[in-house]
Amino acid sequence: MKELQHLNKYFYKYRTHLIIGSIITIVARLFLLYTPRYVKKIFIAIEKYFDKSIDETVFRSDLLEAILYIIGAAIIAALLTFFMRQTIINVSRYIEYDLKNEIYAHYQKLSLNFYKSNRTGDLMNRITEDVSRVRMYAGPALMYSINTLALFVIVIIYMVNASPKLTLYTVVPLPILSVIIYKLSKEIHKRSTIVQEYLSKLSTFTQESFSGISVIKAYGIEPQTSVNFKELAKQSKEKQISLAKVQAWFFPTMILLIGTSNLLVIYIGGMQYINGEIESIGTIAEFIIYVNMLTWPVATVGWVTSIVQQAEASQKRINEFLKIEPEIKNTITQHTEITGDIAFNKVSFTYGDTNIQALKDISFSIKEGQTLAILGKTGSGKSTILDLIGRLYDIDSGSITINNTPINQLNLNDLRDSIGYVPQDAFLFSDSIKTNIKFGKQDATDNDVIEAAKNAQVHKNIVKFNKGYDTVLGERGITLSGGQKQRVSIARAFIKSPKILLLDDCLSAVDTETEEKILKNLSKISKGKTAVIVSHRVSSAKNADKIIVLDQGKIVQEGTHDSLINIEGYYQHLYLKQLSETGKNTP
């Protein structure tokens, strides 16, 4: 129960609901107990009528009174049971909501490294499946525990009052029932977890095969895919059947044990009646109702125990993530002004998970309003520089300053607010094009969106779609071409009009003519702003104020286009190669 203590703050928050719910539960049980007592009275009335100690009128009125009490009490108990669920179960939904929000807010604070070292499925499971299991503890388990405790205490008092000996014999099978249900619940849980695993394997497989349908069709591997699907579906079916087998034992076991208890009541009660130890046969009827009333709550003890164990395991998994401290912390709360002066001073950086040293002793600087182009072979560390400017990672040694302030002494929110980032893989949400562009500036007007799209050279494409800017993009924007996706992603950064623009090889899928137009617009928009362009093309770098060339995490060349084309090295080779490819004077 140690892990579940995390929920105590929520129980405290909703204490009023819980207290009211508990009181309602206890009162509801008290009303339920009218039935057995009045059934006994009916039996006594029948006995008296046959003994002729009461006449028919008295008998009828006794009978009517008992029936009315039973109906009235049942209606009140039913109403109270409704309110019991409305309070306690609702609290569990509130707690589920709060816990999901707590986990989500925490996830958002965690650094990229966290997302790299944990699978997305795992993150999703903890916020959905695990929270659901914890809710079962905060709601149904709590409700049934209060219910069982209240009923048990009250019923046992009534039973002992009526006949202590009969009580002893009839409650003996109940703990056995509880243990059996506990064992069954555990087994059911074990098998349903396996069923869930197979279901998620099946859905992942199906999802992937639909997302990659073009590859499957192009390679003609539909038959093999069908065979794989059939095999997975078969395994899933077998697991479901194995679960159903254990579930099938649940009710027969309960019926068997209730039957045994009923038989014991009839046999022992009957003997006691014959020996004159109990006053009326009505006591046996009363006991039969008590035993049946107790059976379900006692069975739930086993069920609740297994729910609590599952919730404890789930909360442990949730707590593991909640305890992780974000690696990148925003320690500065006051507002910091960001300009575009960026300087790297002997910066080295190693990725913790792969131990790859991506940058070694890097130094360069750019002034506000300047454009820096970074070129270099793949894997040379270009994207890493952009990630470090956005402080997605903290460096190992050296310093990065923005307006002469070390980056970790800037307010992180201000820093990220002043950056417009266009990643290598343009990620678009399954929403309209307009919303995707407005993502960069939530309060942008339609005109702002159109202007940004024009500057990113994608406006003409968008207006050709039937629904224009309201065109909804499919999963990962599949209705757009690679180049269109890149340009929508650029428009998203342009609309933000940030102090610092980071473009990570985001013009690779557009033709050189469009690239030129975008870059022209960029220099227009980014007047007075700093831009860092990562590229594999000289055409993207040639107008930059400064160009650096990276190789294996080190700067190997630095200068302007005019100076670098005259120096033997990577830049000159790239320039000549691309020149010969385009057949023009300037690539």
**Positions that interact with ligand ATP (CB under 6 A):** 116, 351, 353-354, 356, 358, 376, 378-384, 424, 505
d(CA 192, CA 245): 12
| Nearest CB to ligand ATP, comparing residues 357 and 521 | 357
| Nearest CB to ligand ATP, comparing residues 286 and 505 | 505
Beta carbons of 540 and 373 less than 8 angstroms apart? yes
d(CA 283, CA 175): 23
| Nearest CB to ligand ATP, comparing residues 347 and 462 | 347
d(CA 568, CA 570): 7
d(CA 136, CA 144): 11
C-beta of 126: minimal distance to ligand ATP in Å?
Answer: 22
Quote the distance between the C-alpha of residue 149 and its chain's center: 34
C-beta of 534: minimal distance to ligand ATP in Å?
Answer: 6
| Nearest CB to ligand ATP, comparing residues 116 and 346 | 116
| Nearest CB to ligand ATP, comparing residues 459 and 546 | 546
Instruction: Dig out the tokens for 572 from the structure.
Output: 């000159």
- The phi-psi region of residue 468 (left if phi > 0; otherwise alpha if psi is between -120 and 50; otherwise beta) is left
| Nearest CB to ligand ATP, comparing residues 477 and 553 | 553
What residue has token string 């794989």?
A: 228
C-beta of 339: minimal distance to ligand ATP in Å?
Answer: 25
C-beta of 356: minimal distance to ligand ATP in Å?
Answer: 4
d(CA 82, CA 28): 10
| Residues facing residue 374 across a β-bridge | 534, 548
| Nearest CB to ligand ATP, comparing residues 279 and 425 | 425
* Three-state SS at 285: helix
C-beta of 360: minimal distance to ligand ATP in Å?
Answer: 11
C-beta of 478: minimal distance to ligand ATP in Å?
Answer: 23
C-beta of 383: minimal distance to ligand ATP in Å?
Answer: 3
Quote the distance between the C-alpha of residue 126 and its chain's center: 6
d(CA 492, CA 468): 16
Instruction: Dig out the tokens for 66 from the structure.
Output: 């008992």
| Nearest CB to ligand ATP, comparing residues 379 and 398 | 379
Amino acid at residue number 314: S
Distance spanning both ends of the chain, measured CA to CA: 67
Residues 6+ positions from 569 with CB-CB distance below 8 Å: 549, 556, 557
